[in-house]
């Protein structure tokens, strides 16, 4: 049941009391659950044929089965790029579904923040080079209590966005610092195109992009930040973005420090 409180205000604008409006939302919840299950089943069923399609395209591209004309090679590159996008989308949908379902447990353990930062930056180095972007990091030894695979996933999602939305010659930096109140703060900063203030919160929702053509132009799925938010929330942390249009963006998240 969803309960909404509506204030009852008299002519002097004094609040005299509240009306409460209770509505039964079990049908809506059931429909949402069915929709999530449907998306999950479809994505799961798509994954196997997509993976074999992707492998077949990769073999064709090697030229071992015969040489393609220049036009043929271009067609193959387009097919390959779009298959990769679909694989990413399906994997992202399944990731988000898995995290949201609460059916899995995060395997939290003591980790060194520096190790996770090095893992994430090493993984993103080839993409940075491809885009002509310098990837800089200042790893600091701080012990945190996290599921390292998921935190590395959140960091690589943020680094990949930062690289994607940077211009060649730009720098993307990853920093960590210890805050008061037993928190560590991770920040991924870029010097890219920036994000309008009005979109700084909505981009953390599923399929929300500043420019709806971003998914086509930049190969995104619109799910990366929604996944990051879920991962950080599962660690009792907070995630947010700051930005100046035309100057760049900073994505920050906090995590609790390990004591004792
Ligand atoms: P996508 O797969 O589209 O990158 P995300 O959920 O990761 O999906 O990001 C959502 C949107 O937020 C992006 O499409 C883009 O419009 C915006 N965005 C995210 N990171 C950045 C960034 N570093 N600079 C500029 N825009 C960004």
Q: How far apart are CA 202 and CA 216, in angstroms?
A: 19
Q: What is the pLDDT of residue 210?
A: 84
pLDDT at residue 222, as a whole number: 86
Tens digit of pLDDT for each residue in 206-231? 888 887 666 556 667 788 999 999 99
251 has pLDDT over 80: yes
Give the percent of the chain with pLDDT over 90.
52
> Ligand 1 pocket, 163 CB below 6 A?
no
With bands split at pLDDT 50, 70 and 90, how would you rate the model's confidence at 110? very high
Question: Interface pTM (ipTM) of the complex?
Answer: 0.98
**Beta partners for residue 179, in sequence order:** 183
Atom of ligand 1 nearest to the CA of 210: 16
Q: Is the CB of 170 under 6 A from ligand 1?
A: no
Question: Over the stretch 147-165, which tens digit does the pLDDT of each residue have?
Answer: 998 999 999 999 999 999 9
Q: Using CA atoms, how far apart are residues 44 and 25, in angstroms rounded to an integer?
A: 28
Q: What digits encode the pLDDT tens for the residues 25-59?
A: 788 888 877 877 777 788 788 888 999 999 999 99
- Give the pairing type, strands 134-138 and 183-190: unpaired
Q: Measure the CA–CA gap between 163 and 133, rounded to whole angstroms.
A: 7
Ligand 1 in reach of 204 Cβ (< 6 A): no
């Amino acid at each position: 049941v969803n309960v909404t409180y509506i204030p009852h205000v008299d002519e002097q604008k004094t609040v005299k009391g509240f009306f409460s409006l209770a509505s039964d939302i079990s049908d809506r919840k059931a429909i949402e659950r069915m929709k999530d299950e449907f998306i999950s089943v479809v994505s799961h069923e798509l994954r196997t044929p997509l993976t074999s399609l992707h492998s077949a395209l990769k073999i064709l591209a090697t030229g071992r089965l015969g040489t393609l004309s220049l036009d043929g090679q271009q067609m193959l590159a387009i097919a390959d790029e779009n298959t990769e996008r679909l694989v990413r989308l399906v994997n992202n949908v399944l990731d988000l579904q898995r995290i949201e379902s609460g059916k899995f447990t995060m395997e939290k353990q003591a980790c060194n923040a520096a190790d996770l930062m090095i893992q994430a930056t090493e993984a993103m180095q080839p993409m940075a080079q491809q885009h002509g972007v310098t990837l800089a990091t200042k790893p600091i030894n701080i012990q945190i209590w996290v599921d390292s695979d998921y935190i590395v996933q959140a960091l690589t999602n943020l680094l990949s966005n930062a690289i994607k939305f940077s211009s060649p010659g730009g720098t993307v930096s990853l920093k960590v610092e210890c805050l008061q109140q037993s928190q560590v703060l991770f920040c991924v900063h870029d010097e890219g195109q920036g994000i309008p203030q009005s979109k700084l919160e909505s981009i953390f929702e599923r399929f929300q992009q500043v420019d709806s053509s971003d998914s086509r132009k930049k190969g995104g799925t619109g799910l990366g930040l929604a996944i990051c938010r879920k991962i950080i929330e599962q660690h009792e942390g907070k995630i947010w973005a700051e930005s100046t249009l035309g100057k760049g963006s900073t994505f920050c998240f906090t995590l609790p420090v390990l004591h004792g």
